[in-house]
Amino acid sequence: MRFVSCLLRMIALATLLALQPGAASAQGSPQAAEEAFTRLGADSFSDTNRAIEILIANAHPQAAVIIEALADGRLLAGGGAVVVKTKDGKLLDAKTGAALASEPPGLSAVRLNNGVRRTIQAALGGLGLLNPDAGKRIAAAEAVFKSRDASLLPVLEGAIAKESDARAKAALRQAQAAILIAKPDAPPFDRIAAVDVLRERGDQDALATLRSLPGDSSAGLREAQGRAVSAIESKLALWRAGQNLWYGLSLGSVLLLAAIGLAITFGVMGVINMAHGEMVMLGAYTTFIVQELIRTRFPGLFDYSLLIAVPLAFLVAGLVGIAIERGVIRFLYGRPLETLLATWGISLILQQAVRTAFGPTNREVGAPNFMSGAFEIGQLAITWNRLWIIVFAGLVFAALLAILKLTPIGLQMRAVTQNRRMASAMGIRTGRVDALTFGLGSGVAGLAGVALSQIDNVSPNLGQSYIIDSFMVVVFGGVGNLWGTLVGAMTLGIANKLLEPYAGAVLGKIALLVFIILFIQKRPRGLFAQKGRAVEA
């Protein structure tokens, strides 16, 4: 376990024992220890649980090592022997800690289930309360907060008295409060104070703890609890609104990523690109290949795998896009509806090609460390991957805008799409620009694939699930306008997430589709309509 070095845990254990006279009296009882080892070898979860309790209660000198090994699946048992396998692969006798010369026969790892994991967590929580690292003390306090192991109350009190770090102290107090709430024989005054501590904490877990107040508590305590619960609830309701907004932003950024490539190929070039989703899928598969290579060849680079995948996905999808444009679409300019048919055919081919090459099942794309987990701002849980996707979507959008507005090729692209013949007369090689524009749109779709590989299936069907939404976004925002796509994606994302808690996921989505249908009646050219006579052709 990540907690601590062995020595410090010994100190913690000693403190624990000093504070627990009942347990100390059984110290060193060889029968009890023997029983614990027999139970560890019994291959039954309840026996394993009991064994941990015995080891802790008896302050077995190897307790910390054994429990830590158990948590990691490094505790082996079989044929009456219990063996700890150290992280570097050496075998130690669990009873004595002595190194073993040879591996006893018939060993297998002691198995865990959630119940055993909870016991371990609680035990390690008790052991980590006095860790010198404040962060680990907080983690330990959190573990105690959840396990609410009343036997740790004395340790907690000792720890609180010594604690100097404000955050750790608060965490320890909260752990203490959680125990007190559930402890009917604690002094009533302390328990009311505990209610206040939890009210201060004010999150879901505090609410859960408060709600678990035993029914037979005194009237005063119940009243305090009732007030605290409603206070937390009203505060959480506010946070929840903020949370929904965040979810909406995050969904909006996913839609933006999925749609923005289409805003180029469909919006700017007028190609109804049904193979757009497959470009997204190619991007996701590129990410998969990059990770696979990194996993087998350069495991150290894993955290950078997505960064490496970004340019490659852009290139792969972009090149495929250029190939499609040169091979098929250039014969179809001026017949936009027929591009729909051809690209639909291409999308079928690409899907089946990927299915043949990679198999029909999902492929695993792992999350690099900087994209795993979540952090909290107040009661707002923000997951790192969503945050990075929002940032990424913003960057892609800005880059695309810059390319179109600031670079010569962007100028040529706009010129060709606005008046092809005039542009051609001015010496622009329209064919080349077409290919590059389509390549750019496809490449951006590939970038979306890198991001989507973090939150969705990497399977041949990946693209299909986004194609309709992408078209909705582009049409809603107004064809041919990148800003429209941005506003469209965000509006639809946020509206979807604000509706979902009330209407459910399906009805919310239906409501949005109906809204888009009605909205188009009102503004037949989308939110940001292109103005000018060319549109009314």
Partner 1 sequence: MSLASPLLRAGEACRRPLKGAFNRIGSGDMSVSNTRRVILGAALAGAAFLGTLLPAAAQETIKVGILHSLSGTMAISETTLKDVMLMLIDEQNKKGGVLGKKLEAVVVDPASNWPLFAEKARELIAKDKVSAVFGCWTSVSRKSVLPVFKELNSILFYPVQYEGEESERNVFYTGAAPNQQAIPAVDYLAKEEKVQRWVLAGTDYVYPRTTNKILEAYLKSKGVKAEDIMINYTPFGHSDWQTIVSDIKKFGSAGKKTAVVSTINGDANVPFYKELGNQGIKATDIPVVAFSVGEEELAGIDTKPLLGHLAAWNYFQSVKTPENEAFIKQWKAYKKNDKAVTNDPMEAHVIGFAMWVKAVEKAKSFDPDKVIDALPGIEAPNLTGGISKMLPNHHITKPVLIGEIKADGQFDVVSKTGLVAGDAWSKELDGSKDLIGDWVEKKCGNFNVKTGKCGGA
Partner 2 sequence: MITRFLIQGMDKRGLVFLAVLVALAVLVPLANLLLPPGSILHVPTSAMSLWGKYLCYALLAISLDLVWGYCGILSLGHGAFFALGGYAMGMYLMRQIGSRGTYGNPILPDFMVFLNWSELPWYWYGFSSFPFAVLMVLAVPGLLAFVFGWFAFRSRVTGVYLSIITQALTYALLLAFFRNDMGFGGNNGLTDFKEIVGFNVQAQSTRAALFSMTCVMLIAGFLIARGIVSSKLGKVVIAIRDAESRTRFLGYRVDRFKLFVFTVSACMAGVAGALYVPQVGIINPSEFAPANSIETVIWVAVGGRGTLVGAALGAVVVNYAKTVFTSGFMAPYWLFALGALFVFVTIFMPKGILGTAQDWWARRKAPPEASPAAEPAPAE
Q: Which is nearer to partner 1, 459 or 491 (CB)?
A: 459
Q: Chain-centre distance of CA 364, in angstroms?
A: 15
Q: Does 520 bind partner 2 (CB under 8 A)?
A: yes
The CB-of-302 to partner 1 minimum distance in angstroms stands at 11
Amino acid at 199: R
Q: Which residues contact 59 (CB under 8 A, 6 or more apart)?
A: 13, 14, 16, 17, 23, 24, 27, 28
Provide the mask over 460-479, with x wherever binding to partner 1 is found by CB under 8 A and - wherever it is not. Answer: xx--xx--------------
Q: Does 519 bind partner 1 (CB under 8 A)?
A: no
Q: Strands across the sheet with 91-93, in order?
A: 91-93, 81-85, 75-78, 108-109
Instruction: Single out the segment in contact with partner 2 by CB under 8 A; choices: 73-81, 309-317, 431-439, 471-479.
Output: 471-479
Half-sphere exposure of 432 (CA within 13 A, CB side): 8
Considering the rule CB under 8 A, would residue 68 count as an interface residue with partner 1?
no
38 binds partner 1, rule: CB under 8 A = no
CA distances from 41 to 240, 276, 314, 504 (A): 47, 57, 55, 49
- Which option in partner 1, partner 2, none does residue 344 bind, with CB closer than 5 to 8 A by kind? partner 2
Shortest Å distance, C-beta 251 to partner 2: 16
Per-residue interface string for the shown chain with partner 2, residues 339-378, x marking contact by CB under 8 A: xxxx-xxxxxx-xxx--x----------------------
Q: Which does 347 bind (CB under 5 to 8 A by kind): partner 2, partner 1, none?
A: partner 2
The least CB distance from residue 433 to partner 1, in Å, is 35
CA triplet 368, 373, 378: central angle to 5 degrees? 145
- Residue 152 CB, nearest distance to partner 1 (Å)? 17
Q: Which of 406, 426, 454, 474 is nearest to 266 (CA)?
A: 474
Instruction: Tell me if 27 contacts partner 1 by CB under 8 A.
Output: no
CA atoms within 13 A on the CB side of 293: 10
Q: Tokens representing 10?
A: 């010994």
| 276: its two tokens | 């757009």
Q: Are 80 and 34 in contact (CB under 8 A)?
A: no
User: Which of 20, 418, 430, 457 touches partner 1 by CB under 8 A?
Assistant: 457
- 393 CB burial (10 A radius; 0-12, 13-18, 19+): buried
Q: For partner 2, give the closer residue by CB, 68 or 469.
A: 469
Residue numbers 195-224 binding partner 1 by CB under 8 A? 204-205, 207-213
Cβ atoms of residues 180 and 194 within 8 Å: yes
Under the criterion CB under 8 A, does residue 78 sit at the interface with partner 1?
A: no
Residues lying near partner 2 in the complex (CB under 8 A) are found at: 266, 272, 274, 328, 331-332, 334-342, 344-349, 351-353, 356, 464, 468, 471-472, 475, 479, 506-507, 509-510, 513-514, 516-518, 520-522, 524-526, 536
